[in-house]
Amino acid sequence: MNYKPTDSPTTKCSVCVLGQFCLPVGLSSADVIRVDTLVKERVQLQKGESLYRHGDPLSSVFSVRFGTLKTEYCLQDGRQQVIGFHLPGEILGLDGIGDGHYQSDAIALEDSEVCIIRYEAFEDLACQIPALQNQFHKIMSRELTQDQRHLLSLGTMRAEERLAAFLLSLSQRLAARGYLNNEFDLRMSRVEIGSYLGIQIETVSRMLSRFAESGLIQIKQRHIKLIDMDGLYELAGVPNPDRQSCSAETPIKQI
Amino acid sequence: MNYKPTDSPTTKCSVCVLGQFCLPVGLSSADVIRVDTLVKERVQLQKGESLYRHGDPLSSVFSVRFGTLKTEYCLQDGRQQVIGFHLPGEILGLDGIGDGHYQSDAIALEDSEVCIIRYEAFEDLACQIPALQNQFHKIMSRELTQDQRHLLSLGTMRAEERLAAFLLSLSQRLAARGYLNNEFDLRMSRVEIGSYLGIQIETVSRMLSRFAESGLIQIKQRHIKLIDMDGLYELAGVPNPDRQSCSAETPIKQI
DNA sequence: CGCTTTATTGAGAGATATCAATACTTGTGG
DNA sequence: CCACAAGTATTGATATCTCTCAATAAAGCG
């Protein structure tokens, strides 16, 4: 293991503000208290530190308490790619369940804190609390869906569209956690964004500059303001979910 | 629903040859008999028929009994992409658990048969049979890993490499099911391969021709022979797992 | 303040897409 | 059984997007 757990029994799921995004969603308060017993430890990570490495045996899954992490995969020839960015309340380590070893590397993008959920204990409890099992399945399923949308982005979209979709997806996830949806700090470098989107850093930079020129965003370093959300959504190929849709009046495509 | 279930009580998990790839892996024979009760129905699909459509409410997950299916996602603007191909023993519909609606379309590539697993009943039983719950988690986790490797392919590999990796992955999955690993029929069209790999059909065709010219494969229509597996593995950026590795003699990369 | 890392911008090269023509398969109906 | 049509695949020529290489600028860090 690369981390050193810190026991901090004062903070528990039952009093954690992230309850509505994390594992305990949909549980009765009595059941959440039983979940408290699962999360005995947390770990502090400094920027750049790894939570686990590919090949490490799976002992736990993790939930981000604060901060941001990335997961990345390596190819034998040394190429590697960022596969996901992980915000508070999101679960990490699920790729290790399949064969008992993590498949990816998880690395903190900023100083972060992560809850440690012993996986064996979790499975035992999930058998006893159907709502907990159900929530876990939902989490895994959404993770699948997110990866599959990411596949769609890498498979069918041009660089510009991928970047717009990425910014909007980040915006939505931040908004769901109570942050501003139109102004935030990018915790990841241009290199990491490019890796995640399957494009080169120079292209990321050019596209961001182009977005800024055309008034879609304002960007200074890693601080970004989304100015024209509708324009970004149009680029990303989806309608703006926040906007009153006029789609009833749009011509209907006959098949 | 787009399918018409056919009740066929004679075939059960407990006697199904796919047991070693499917849901009942790791279960005692007594427990497999309890799983039998989950799978009361099967459905026959003709080539081109859909098992479910995106937006359909989730009622079941599915396991391929024979045949091949594809799943694909749609973008609002009409673009779509094949996200996965599904062989016997693989589970479909997992992307519907997250919000209770399937996110993808599942379509048969050839005449196929699929087992219907009522999802609610499954969750109930999974709470009672820890090994069943554990196996389900492993299946979802492997699905995640597979999608993430696919992301790696779309994000970092060139067309040639993607195609080699695709052929080898198919070969491995077929071999695991007892088929030949070096000679098989592609059940999917060039268009579907291209969509899956994020490249155009013309490029797929050109790359296949190039592989054939350089003696890596022989291909006639959809029938393919993998001639030089090592060469393909090299293209795909991974060592051939079947081959006695000489890697101990390869120079060690210093970090 | 200087060094290292990170990001921006430009010019040219390369891989794949697009457009177009042709060939091959498969299925249908005469 | 053959002819035709519709779908599918191959191959070539050109266009386009993104990568690569290179130089510069800005920011973070000791």
Which tens digits make up the pLDDT trace of A125-135? 999 999 999 99
Closest Cβ–Cβ partner in B98, B127, B237 for A133: B127
The verdict on a CB contact (< 8 Å) between B96 and A141 is yes
Candidate from A74-83, A165-174, B131-140, B167-176 with smallest mean pLDDT: A74-83
List % helix, strand, coil for chain A (3-state, nearest 5): 40, 20, 35
Alpha-carbon separation of residue A28 from A33, A40, A177 (angstroms): 9, 20, 21
- Residue B253 is classified by DSSP as P
Q: Where do the domains of chain A lie, and which CATH numbers do they carry?
A: 2-143 (2.60.120.10), 157-243 (1.10.10.10)
Candidate from A54-58, A232-236, B9-13 with smallest mean pLDDT: B9-13
pLDDT tens-digit readout, B98-116: 999 999 999 999 999 999 9
Q: Name which of A103, A141, A200 to mutate to probe chain B: the one with the most chain B Cβ atoms within 10 A of its Cβ.
A: A141
Q: How far is B10 from chain A (nearest CA, A)?
A: 30
B137 touches chain A (CB under 8 A): yes
- How many angstroms separate the CA of A190 from the C1' of D23? 19
Q: Which residue has the tokens 């915000």?
A: A87
A126 touches chain B (CB under 8 A): yes
The predicted pLDDT at position A77 comes to 82
The predicted pLDDT at position B244 comes to 63
pLDDT tens-digit readout, A103-120: 999 999 999 999 999 999
Q: Which residues touch strand D (CB under 7 A)?
A: A 158-160, 198-200, 202-203, 221; B 189-191, 201-202, 204-206, 208-209, 219, 221-222
pLDDT > 90: percent of chain B: 79
The Cα B64–Cα B86 span in angstroms is 7
In this prediction, residue A40 has a pLDDT band, given cuts at 50, 70 and 90, of: confident
What integer best gives the mean pLDDT of chain B?
A: 90
Q: Of A128-137, B7-16, B30-39, where does the model show the most confidence?
A: A128-137
The two tokens of residue B193 are 């391969």
Q: Closest protein residue to C25 using CA and C1' atoms? A: B221
Cβ partners under 8 Å of residue A251, min gap 6: none
Burial zone of B169 (CB within 10 Å; 0-12 exposed, 13-18 middle, 19+ buried): middle
Cβ partners under 8 Å of residue B38, min gap 6: B13, B117, B118, B121, B122, B125
Tally the C-alpha atoms within 13 A of residue B253's C-alpha that lie toward its C-beta.
5
In this prediction, residue B4 has a pLDDT band, given cuts at 50, 70 and 90, of: low
Burial zone of A215 (CB within 10 Å; 0-12 exposed, 13-18 middle, 19+ buried): exposed
Closest Cβ–Cβ partner in A76, A138, A145 for B238: A76
The predicted pLDDT at position A253 comes to 39
What integer best gives the mean pLDDT of chain A?
A: 90
A138 touches chain B (CB under 8 A): yes
In this prediction, residue B15 has a pLDDT band, given cuts at 50, 70 and 90, of: confident
- How many angstroms separate the CA of A221 from the C1' of D27? 9
The two tokens of residue B126 are 């999974």
In this prediction, residue A5 has a pLDDT band, given cuts at 50, 70 and 90, of: low
Cβ partners under 8 Å of residue B3, min gap 6: B43, B45, B49, B50, B51, B52, B114
In the predicted model, what is the mean pLDDT of residues A206-213?
Answer: 96
In this prediction, residue B183 has a pLDDT band, given cuts at 50, 70 and 90, of: very high
The predicted pLDDT at position B253 comes to 40
B208 forms beta bridges with none
In the predicted model, what is the mean pLDDT of residues B135-159?
Answer: 97
Q: How far is A160 from chain B (nearest CA, A)?
A: 15
In this prediction, residue A21 has a pLDDT band, given cuts at 50, 70 and 90, of: confident
In this prediction, residue A237 has a pLDDT band, given cuts at 50, 70 and 90, of: confident
Residue A251 has pLDDT above 60, yes or no: no
In this prediction, residue B242 has a pLDDT band, given cuts at 50, 70 and 90, of: confident
The two tokens of residue B133 are 């719950």
- Residue B114 is classified by DSSP as E
Which residue from B minimizes the CA distance to A102? B145
B17 touches chain A (CB under 8 A): no
The predicted pLDDT at position B249 comes to 43
pLDDT tens-digit readout, A69-99: 999 999 888 889 999 999 999 999 999 999 9
Q: Which residue has the tokens 């992490």?
A: A69
In the predicted model, what is the mean pLDDT of residues A139-147?
Answer: 97
> Which chain B residues are Cβ-neighbours of A104 within 8 angstroms?
148
pLDDT tens-digit readout, A42-72: 999 999 999 999 999 999 999 999 999 999 9
Closest Cβ–Cβ partner in A73, A124, A126 for B148: A73
Q: Which has more pLDDT, A154 or A221? A: A154
- How many angstroms separate the CA of A194 from the C1' of C6? 14
